Structure 1
Amino acid sequence: MKRSLKKLAMTALTASALLAGPALAEKTIRLAHLNPDNPFDSHSAAMSAVFKSLVETGTNGSLKVEVFPNGQLGKDDEVIQQVRDGLVQSAISSAGGIAAHYNLVGVFDMPFAFPNIGVAQEVINMDSPFGKKFAADLEQKTGLKVLGLLDSGGFFAVSNSKRPIRTADDFKGLRIRTMTLPTHEATITSLGGQPTPLPWAEVYTALQTGVADGQMNPIPIIAFAKFDEVQKYLSITNHVITPYIWTMNEDFYNGLTDAEKAVVDMAAQVAVESGVGLSRIIEASADKGLPKLGKRMEINAIEPAELQKLAEMSQPAVRQVIVERLGPEGVELLDAMMDNIQQVQKAN
Structure 2
Amino acid sequence: MSNTSKFRKLAGFSAFAFAAITAANSVNAANWRYAHEEYEGDVQDVYAYKFKEYVEENSDHTVQVFRFGELGESDDIMEQTQAGILNFVNQSPGFTGSLIPEAQIFFIPYLMPTDMETVITFFRESKAINEMFPELYSEQGLELLKMYPEGEMVVTVDEPVTSPEEFSNKKIRVMTNPLLSETYSAFGATPTPLPWGEVYGALQTNMIQGQENPIFWIESGGLYEVSPNLVFTGHGWFTTAMMANQNFYNGLSDEDKKLVRDAADYAFEEIIVHIDGLADEALEKIQAASDRVTVTRLNDEQIEAFRARAPQVEERFINMTGERGKQLLDQFKADLEAVQGQ
TM-score, length-scaled by structure 2: 0.87
Taking the aligned partners of 1:139 and 1:216, their CA distance within structure 2 comes to 25
Aligned pairs for 1:325-340 (under 5 A) are 325-340=320-335
Taking the aligned partners of 2:139 and 2:223, their CA distance within structure 1 comes to 36
Amino acid at match of 1:33: H
Amino acid at match of 2:50: V
Which deviations, in whole Å up to 9, do the C-alpha atoms of 1:99-124 show, x marking residues without a partner? Answer: 12211101111111123332222223
One of 269, 285, 292 as aligned partner of 1:292: 285
Contact 2:121 2:339 in 1 (8 A): yes
Contact 2:153 2:214 in 1 (8 A): yes
Aligned pairs for 1:119-134 (under 5 A) are 119-125=118-124, 127-134=125-132
Taking the aligned partners of 1:274 and 1:322, their CA distance within structure 2 comes to 32
Which deviations, in whole Å up to 9, do the C-alpha atoms of 1:98-152 show, x marking residues without a partner? Answer: 1122111011111111233322222234x4222123333223321211111011x
TM-superposed CA distance for 1:158, in Å, is 0.8
Check if 1:246 corresponds to 2:249.
no
Q: Please state whether the residue corresponding to 1:217 is helix, strand or coil.
A: strand
Runs of 4+ in 1 over 6 A off after TM superposition: none
Check if 1:177 corresponds to 2:184.
no
TM-superposed CA distance for 1:26, in Å, is 5.7
Q: Please state whether the residue corresponding to 1:231 is helix, strand or coil.
A: coil
2:220 aligned partner:
224
Alignment CA distance shift 1:335-1:71 (3 Å): farther
TM-superposed CA distance for 1:173, in Å, is 1.5
Structure with higher Rg: it is 2
2:21 aligned partner:
none
Q: Number of matched residues?
A: 313
Taking the aligned partners of 2:315 and 2:132, their CA distance within structure 1 comes to 20
Aligned pairs for 1:1-348 (under 5 A) are 27-37=30-40, 41-59=41-59, 61=60, 63-116=61-114, 117-125=116-124, 127-151=125-149, 153-161=150-158, 163-285=159-281, 289-295=282-288, 296=290, 297-313=293-309, 315-347=310-342
Q: Which runs of 5+ in 1 are unaligned?
A: 1-22
Contact 1:79 1:91 in 2 (8 A): yes
1:19 aligned partner:
none
Alignment CA distance shift 1:24-1:200 (3 Å): farther
Q: Percent same amino acid at aligned positions?
A: 27
Contact 2:147 2:241 in 1 (8 A): yes
Alignment CA distance shift 1:256-1:301 (3 Å): same
TM-score, length-scaled by structure 1: 0.85
Taking the aligned partners of 1:130 and 1:33, their CA distance within structure 2 comes to 23
Taking the aligned partners of 1:276 and 1:142, their CA distance within structure 2 comes to 28
Which deviations, in whole Å up to 9, do the C-alpha atoms of 1:222-268 show, x marking residues without a partner? Answer: 11111111112101112122320101011211222222222211111
Q: Which runs of 5+ in 2 are unaligned?
A: 1-25
Q: Please state whether the residue corresponding to 1:294 is helix, strand or coil.
A: helix
Taking the aligned partners of 1:208 and 1:274, their CA distance within structure 2 comes to 36
Contact 2:126 2:332 in 1 (8 A): no
